[in-house]
Structures are given as structure tokens and as C-alpha cells.
């Protein structure tokens, strides 16, 4: 549309004398004076006044006369009205292009919808409606929409107080609306506009991001559904990468075996083994401490990697124990004769392995290995230590997995809350456990 378009005409307001631009001359039936708010019959040669009233000053998000491009077409906002059904209030902007005709731009709760009137009624399938192969489910039925404020020009005789019966059918991302009065009925299909699209067209402020407690539009698609779909491939790749790292860097390599013995309830035994050479810095170490002969007792095992150069010490502790016996329920046993110790990170260097071992036996039990006769008759307990480079920290792996899953799980929770809030508005139907899944489907 060029500014010199021949469809633009001017006339003087019979109430205040202001010059009014009529942009859709030949189509416009009712025109509201932008200066005093008087409604004028644009079809009357003398511009007859229909009604005169003083509108409260309103700050329109899109001032009348503003032009913007939507879906490749330049539109001009020529009319504005406000409607209410007793529960919600929304605004409707009438857009005009001399070649493409009219469109409606509906604003509610900061969200925008582009509406187009249908030239043919949709097909009915049970309680649903079908338009161009898309199925719409009933959402609102039999509401009364009333015009509360009006400004600009329109293609019918609009006035404050005008009422229509409205029914709406929803498919996430789209709304099919039926409006009817005593004279006619009309169908309009509306498509939800992404914030960036409406902002690029008319430079309106983007709506706030939906959060729990806010009321979405009946046809507003969940802002979290697409994010969930986009995140799952990332989570899967991250999980595979973690498995690869665990396999490559969690293996135990170059094992060395040492042994030390201790007498149950005897003095602690300390012994030093080495050298253990670590050519690379920040390596994890695994120590497998096994006491195959322990029975009816326990063994305390303290190990320390001591750097020969700096005397820095990196310590770990294991408790090996094993008990068994018989009671009225039969044979029982508990404890473990083997423990795995892990040291997360050792600097490069040459180390000694310092081992302190003390064995104990349970005095109230009788064992073929450790009996209760004399201290000298108690068999020594051998502690076998297998030291290897590398370690698998399963807790760290699962913590990383949890960190990967937190974003999609949080978005899934927000998506469910969003769909429950959306479906809670449905006429005569509370949120259904299956309904929110529709939001996960593409429009």
C-alpha cells in the first residue's frame, strides 16, 4: 500500500470538525472520529452521526494508521474495538490491505492472534470441526461477546453494546470461532503469533514468559513443548559421551599387588610398598583391599599415597568384615571381605604406599579360623592390596546424568502445568490427564 493510495478519502467530523482519513473508502460502513469518538455513518452522503460519546483516553498498542508486514503482506490498522464476555477482556484490531482485504489482530493477555474470516462453514465431525484437514475440539460454547469500546473504521455498523453469541474450537496454535446474532453467523480462524513475529511487524512489546499462576490463551501452544523435543537429542548425546568417557578413562591399568598380615586383636601393622610411579598429572588411583581369611571379625585398613619428593599424603580407609552363623532361620552371613578405595586425583610423581592394618575378632563367636582359646592360636589375617591407575566414580557419573536430565524434566513439569492451566478454562470440563498431551503435537 502506498501513502497515495486512491482508496484513502477524507471527510469532516460533523461533531468536532476534525478531518478524518477513511482508508478503506467504498468498504467502510461505520467510522469513529479519532478526535472526539463520535460514530459516523460513512455510507451517508452527509456523514450522519450515529451516536456521539467521549471515550476514555486509551493507549493503543498499535495506533490506528500504523502499517506493518505480516506473512509477506503490508497491513494497516484502521479499526480497534474492545470486547468482553464477562470473564475475559480482549482487543481486536481491524487490518486492511486493498488487495488482500481484511484481517483481525486479536490481543489478549499480551498474546496476539491473526484472524481471517472463512468464506465457507467448516465441516462437522461429531462435536469437532474440521478446516483444511485440521481438527478443532470444542472449548468455549455459547458465550456472549459484547463490544465495550470502539475507534476507527469498520465494514459493518459497529456500536458499543453490540453483542454476539460466540463458540470457540481449539487446536493448539489455532482457534476456530463462530459468531452469530439474529441476522448472520460468521466463522473466523485465528493463528497464534510468535512474539518475535508480531514485534517485527508492529513493534509491540513481547508478552512475559508464561510461569505457573498465569492464564494462557485457550489456543496458545506450550512454550516448553518444542524445547523438550529439542533437548532430548542433546541429553541422549551427552549420556553417550559420558559413557564413552567412563569407559575410556575409568579403566584400571597397570595393577600392582602387595600383601601384609596382621594377628587378630594384636598390634597394628604398618608397612611401606613402592615405588609407584605416575608419569601423568592428576590421575585417579584404585586400591582393592581383600581379606579372604577374615571370619567373625573385622580388619581396619588405612592406606596413604606419600609423594617421595614433597611428602604430601593422600589417604583412604577401608573396613573389611565378615560374620556368619546359624539360628532358627538357618544359616546367615553379613559383611564383605573386599573393599574398593579410590583416590580422585594424584599429581605426577613417585609415591610410596603406606599401609596400616589392624585385625579384630568378635569375642562372642566361635570360628574354625579364629577360636577363643588363646591369642597365640589365632590365625594371622592376610590383607591383599591391588593398586592400579584409573578409577570409575559411579556417583559422579550418575550425578552428571542427573544434571543432564534436570532441564528436560523441569521443562516437562512446566509443560504439564501450562497445559493444565490452559485446559482448566474449557467449558464444563476440568483439566484432563490426556488433554495436555495435545500440546506436545505440532499444529
Please give the Cα distance from 74 to 60 (Å, whole number).
19
Average pLDDT over residues 321-334: 88
In this predicted model, what pLDDT tens digit does every residue of 104-154 receive, in sequence order?
999 998 899 999 999 999 999 999 999 999 999 999 988 899 999 888 888
- E strand or H helix that includes residue 94: strand 89-97
Asked whether 317 and 358 are in contact (CB, 8 A), the reply is: no
Please give the Cα distance from 338 to 315 (Å, whole number).
18
Where residue 430 falls among pLDDT bands split at 50, 70, 90? very low
pLDDT at 191: 95
Q: Which residue has better confidence, 239 or 72?
A: 72
Query: In sequence order, what are the residues at sequence separation of 6 or more whose Cβ sits closer than 8 angstroms to the Cβ of residue 58?
Result: 149, 151
Q: Which residue has the cell 518444542?
A: 226
Q: Where are the domains of the chain?
A: 9-220, 253-391, 396-440
Selection from 57, 40, 60, 56 nearest residue 48 by Cα: 40
| pLDDT at residue 63 tops 60 | yes
| Percent of the chain surpassing pLDDT 90 | 36
Query: In sequence order, what are the residues at sequence separation of 6 or more whose Cβ sits closer than 8 angstroms to the Cβ of residue 363?
Result: 372
Number of helices (H), then strands (E), in the chain: 3, 25
Average pLDDT over all residues of the chain:
81
Q: Which three cell numbers stand for residue 175?
A: 482457534
SS3 355: strand
Where residue 373 falls among pLDDT bands split at 50, 70, 90? very low
When the candidates are 2.60.120, 1.10.287, 1.20.1500, 1.20.1410, the CATH number that belongs to 253-391 is 2.60.120
The phi and psi torsions of 285 (rounded to 5 degrees) equal -125, 145
Where residue 364 falls among pLDDT bands split at 50, 70, 90? very low
Q: Give me the sign of the Cα torsion angle 115, 121, 123, 126.
A: positive
Query: Residue 253: is it exposed, middle or buried by C-beta count within 10 angstroms (0-12/13-18/19+)?
Result: exposed
Q: Whole-prediction pTM value?
A: 0.60
Please give the Cα distance from 396 to 97 (Å, whole number).
62
Amino acid at each position: 500500500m502506498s501513502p497515495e493510495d486512491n482508496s484513502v478519502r477524507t471527510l469532516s467530523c460533523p461533531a468536532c470538525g476534525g478531518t478524518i482519513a477513511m482508508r478503506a473508502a467504498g468498504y467502510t460502513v461505520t467510522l469513529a472520529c479519532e478526535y472526539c469518538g463520535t460514530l459516523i455513518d460513512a455510507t451517508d452522503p452527509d456523514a450522519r452521526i450515529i451516536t456521539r460519546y467521549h471515550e476514555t483516553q486509551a493507549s493503543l498498542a498499535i495506533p490506528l494508521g500504523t502499517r506493518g508486514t505480516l506473512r509477506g503482506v503490508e497491513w494497516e490498522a484502521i479499526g480497534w474495538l474492545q470486547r468482553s464476555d464477562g470473564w475475559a477482556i480482549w482487543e481486536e484490531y481491524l487490518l486492511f490491505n486493498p488487495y488482500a482485504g481484511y484481517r483481525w489482530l486479536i490481543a489478549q493477555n499480551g498474546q496476539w492472534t491473526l484472524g481471517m474470516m472463512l468464506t465457507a462453514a467448516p465441516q462437522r465431525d461429531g462435536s469437532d470441526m474440521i478446516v483444511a484437514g485440521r481438527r478443532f475440539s470444542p472449548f468455549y460454547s455459547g458465550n456472549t461477546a459484547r463490544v465495550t469500546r470502539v475507534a476507527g473504521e469498520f465494514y459493518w455498523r459497529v456500536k458499543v453494546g453490540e453483542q454476539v453469541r460466540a463458540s470457540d474450537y481449539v487446536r493448539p496454535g489455532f482457534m476456530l470461532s463462530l459468531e452469530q446474532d439474529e441476522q448472520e453467523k460468521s466463522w473466523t480462524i485465528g493463528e497464534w503469533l510468535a512474539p518475535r513475529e508480531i514485534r517485527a511487524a508492529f513493534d509491540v512489546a513481547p508478552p512475559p514468559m508464561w510461569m505457573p499462576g498465569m492464564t494462557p490463551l485457550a489456543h496458545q501452544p506450550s512454550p516448553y513443548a518444542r524445547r523438550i523435543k529439542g533437548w532430548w537429542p542433546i541429553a541422549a548425546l551427552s549420556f553417550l559421551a559420558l559413557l564413552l568417557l567412563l569407559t575410556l578413562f575409568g579403566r584400571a591399568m597397570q595393577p600392582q599387588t602387595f600383601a601384609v598380615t596382621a594377628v587378630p586383636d594384636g598390634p597394628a601393622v604398618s608397612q611401606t610398598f613402592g615405588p609407584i610411579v605416575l608419569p601423568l598429572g592428576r590421575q585417579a588411583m584404585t586400591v582393592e583391599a581383600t581379606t579372604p581369611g577374615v571370619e567373625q571379625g573385622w580388619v581396619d585398613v588405612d592406606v596413604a599415597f606419600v609423594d617421595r619428593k614433597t611428602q604430601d599424603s593422600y589417604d583412604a580407609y577401608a573396613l573389611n568384615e565378615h560374620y556368619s552363623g546359624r539360628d532358627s532361620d538357618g544359616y546367615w552371613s553379613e559383611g564383605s571381605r573386599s573393599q574398593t578405595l579410590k583416590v580422585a586425583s594424584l599429581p605426577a610423581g613417585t609415591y610410596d604406599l603406606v599401609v596400616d592394618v589392624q585385625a579384630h575378632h568378635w569375642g562372642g563367636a566361635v570360628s574354625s579360623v579364629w577360636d577363643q582359646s588363646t591369642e597365640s592360636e589365632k590365625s594371622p589375617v592376610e590383607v591383599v592390596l591391588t593398586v592400579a591407575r584409573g578409577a570409575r566414580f559411579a556417583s559422579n557419573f550418575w550425578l552428571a546424568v542427573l544434571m543432564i536430565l534436570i532441564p528436560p524434566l523441569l521443562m516437562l513439569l512446566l509443560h504439564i502445568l501450562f497445559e493444565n492451566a490452559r485446559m482448566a478454562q474449557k467449558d464444563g470440563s476440568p483439566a484432563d490427564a490426556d488433554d495436555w498431551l495435545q500440546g506436545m503435537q505440532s499444529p
